Chains A and B, each alone.
Chain A
Amino acid sequence: MSVPEATSHGYAGAFRVIPAPASWDVTPNLTDYGATRASFTWEAARAGLEGLPGGGLNIAHEALDRHVAAGRGAHVAIRWLARAGDRRDFTYAELSEQANRFANVLANLGVQRGQRVFSLAGRIPELYVAALGTWKYGAVFSPLFSAFGPEPIKQRLAIGDGRVLVTTSALYARKVAGIRAELAGLAHVLVVARDGEEIPAGTLGLDGLLRAASDRFATAATMPADEATIHFTSGTTGKPKGAVHVHEAVVAHHITGSYALDLRPDDIFWCTADPGWVTGTSYGIISPLTHGLTSIVDEAEFDAEHWYQVLDRERVTVWYTAPTAIRMLMRAGADLARSYNLSSLRFAGSVGEPLNPEAVVWGTEALGLPFHDNWWQTETGGIVIANFRAVDIRPGSMGLPLPGFEVGIVDHREDGGVSVIDRPDVDGELAIRPGWPSMFRGYLGDEERYRKAFANGWYLTGDLARRDGDGYYWFVGRADDVIKSSGHLIGPFEVESALLEHVAVAEAGVIGKPDAIAGNIVKAFVSLKPGFEESDALRRELLGHARQRLGAAVAPKEIAFLPALPRTRSGKIMRRLLRAWELGLPEGDLSTLESS
């Protein structure tokens, strides 16, 4: 179905609608949006998976063993492209055996079902084996981004009560060894050591443990509501939030992969996200494997030419990437893209932050396909709103709700509740009716925050958006002070806390400063304690201090001094005012500002 091009309310964007193709070489999984949405049920979606006897459900069974039992064990599940240039294929049968070995390693170590297994590693095969083996065992998997510094790592391991950590010997030495003593609950650290690297004291070599373990394991009889995965995300205040996801989430990972990414078993799929973030797990591990396809895992960091080589040489058919990378590719120019053979590409998707309309359109020039933006977040576990292959694209819009999701725009009332805004083109908070299988089931150890995320039967996303007259959703901004940088959420409090640990810092306020490539970059404002003078040397020292504690992914990119930071009468630092100053915007209502 095509959505009408313009109505009285309808499309007001500056970019022309990109119509869905009139005919197909490969028919999309979702061809009639309206009819599919009308007839959709989660029960029917669940029937697309196998399940375990007795009503059980386990992510690893759906991702691996189901395909092996169906005779597709020899199909390549993961094609790993090592940074050094070599590549290694893992078939479904091999990956299943490796996951079995990992599950047996957990058993041999005395790990209990339901305990938490963390990972801190780049995109190496062992990370995928650990995730799948953990689910198979019935333990809970929690990935950490390898560019985190020691402080974010320590906090997350503590909040998640991590029992096992899978990492590399290099990352262990650099980021974990120094905080190990503060993590009493962390019983086992399993390290991957490469080319003659030593196994650090206090850790066990994963390779040897895997070799010694049996390659047979009977998948734990997990139930749909059993805890499976913890993904950490950030709020405006307080500690990072550990969003709890359950095995049943796999139903959403599978069906959204089918509708929003058009995945099918003969695809070569490349999700460029790191599994340290939710996209790299939901769509970098689970969804591609439940579809039985071949997934590309590229260990190297972003590089324009290398990325086009991967798309070309591996004959990638579906590509799921992020705005920051797309904007970097745009800098390299459409000519570079056109010098490669990208003819196997059928679909290109983007997620992480709103994709600017120029970038959507640039896709048609450079790849012959528009980028299809979609929207979701850690708490939703999977894609909620998307631009589909078979539906017209309004560049700059996040698209239409997926089948199975009731989405609305709500307004906050004086009494603390919310009311639905029915009229189109009105800004409000984006909200979703609870009940989808990949919905988060709690924030670890923070019942209160979880409760506050719901009102009047809606889950409140914290994103501001509006819906146009034809039902397309448009991102407006964040409802809070959380910073979206390169598609990752960064909590200002976490950054401020690290800066306040420095002896010279009296106050710190952290904001997102708009950036043409990253969307936003983290910028910190600090005031100094008496006896300290502003200087470039001190600015650099603070920058280095923050980078050492937080890592490149979280640390500020810019630090500026202020004599004092603006505060409300209740003493809270007014990040919004800092942002207004930075952007040269009107300062708005300052009635609660402390008069100084």
Chain B
Amino acid sequence: MGLNFSFLTRKTGQLLAGVLLAQTALCSAALAEDRAELMAKHRGGTMTLAAVSAAGTIDPMINYTAQFWQIYQMTYDGLVKFKQAGGTDGFEIVPAIAEAIPQAENDGKTYVFKIRKGIMFSNGKEVTPSDVLASFQRIFKVKGPTTGSFYGGIVGADKCIETAETCTLEGGVIADDAAGTVTINLTAPDAEFFSKLAVPHASILPADAPLADAGTTPIPGTGAYFFESYNPNEQLVMKRNPHFKEWSVDAQPDGFADEVIYKFGLTEEAAINAIINGQLDWLYDTPPADRLPEIGSKYASQIKIDPLAALWYAPMNTNLAPFNDVRVRQAVNYALDRDSLVGLFGGEVLAQPTCQILPPDFPGHVDDCIYTKEPGPTWAEPDMEKAMQLVEESGTKGQKVTVIAEDNAVARGIGTYIQSVLSELGYDASMKAVSPNIQFTYIQNTNNNVQISISQWYMDYPAASNFLNVLLSCASFTPGSDSSVNMSGYCNKDLDATMKDAMTLALTDQNAANAKWAEADKGFMEQAPMAPLFTPKSVNFTSARLGNYLFNKQNRWIISQSWVQ
């Protein structure tokens, strides 16, 4: 049943609209005033962050880690950007370097972006359409990890992927410095194109940025801060961009702290102690499990728990025994006690059991669990009897199975638990912990003959395709490659077609598209190429002095919007 607005006349409607507009304008003015007041009160100081290790290259077009994507929010901008706001507002795409979000032309294949005037890079140069063109060319020249998957739909991208050195994107990206516009032509309409433009891989950099991985040498950006120095073994120093003027509070709000120092190399234990003692303001890594009860009770006001669009799962190699038998994969899904797995992650406050691929409250997610004792909307308890029966029917009992997990406390714990479950199901199971530096690529490469592993997936942008299409499409499976994120090696043409339909539908009808994604999610789970384990939550432990904590569902804690004085 919907609401009925037929009692409104045209005149009262106009009046109401006027009141609403005035209210919005007043609210905005009030917010701006509040913000100015807060800025005057809290601006300044040095914020000190920490992580156990750095996240590799500082190059925003190459780095593919949540850790550095978070800090790129305050140092770089794309044509568009995810809104720098708390909660699900962070999923909204707002104009950044572009003045406005353009309307699609040419049946959804062309977009003309008007570039804002007066935006300066931290090296003092003004952003021009030529910089935008050079940045798009650079995406291909530096061969970033999403070059093909995100930007392969731009006209001319195929040539750029073939011969990156001579990439011009002719006909694909057209810069007009005089008109101040950039036109992007696509080979086909893409409902997720703006999301792909909003991630750091599409950051706008100076045209003279190096045409190779910048490594540890910072590249100037347009954000409120710039990278002053970066030593992955020591620290990353961010200072205010001297040429920055707040041109969009939604896309790039001015920051509170004068300086942000990101330290690397401390252990989680040491970092937690330092936060308690006021020597650090925040730790990127999840606090160690044995400190959670203590900080959750003694320092409860400093703990922030927020939901994440993410998934911990166990991919099962559908091309290797015993998981080439769908009954075995289903058996694993039935046998897992997801409550126990949640316990290994830190308890029900920090994670939620799931037996679906799309996270809860995510586009396309419909509550439905088939791998529980009494199938229903959510997971309730394991069905060991059913699991044993399926394994018996498969005739694979006694086979050797090795679980590959990352060599850290949580992943090793989960790996050991799954090994134990497999033993209970009758397999000769063992668990191997592999260094976190190589585990993710190791489990992707079919040459390593990984049967079952533990992995995690955190979305790049809020779209169901970023889970289902990326993790399980035929195109994501490249045998013998370290970049074959479809670790299950599962390829189902029918489900691929369903996903393609969903992506086409998204151009015109998002609800219908979501229904299609839900269908695909269920279809995959029936074939069980993976065992979803739980949806984790973000745990941030901050110093007592840190104020104005805002959690953005897309890019997590908005560092620049917190203050330390």
**Is chain B a partner of chain A in the same complex?**
no
Q: Which residues of A contact B (CB under 8 A)?
A: none
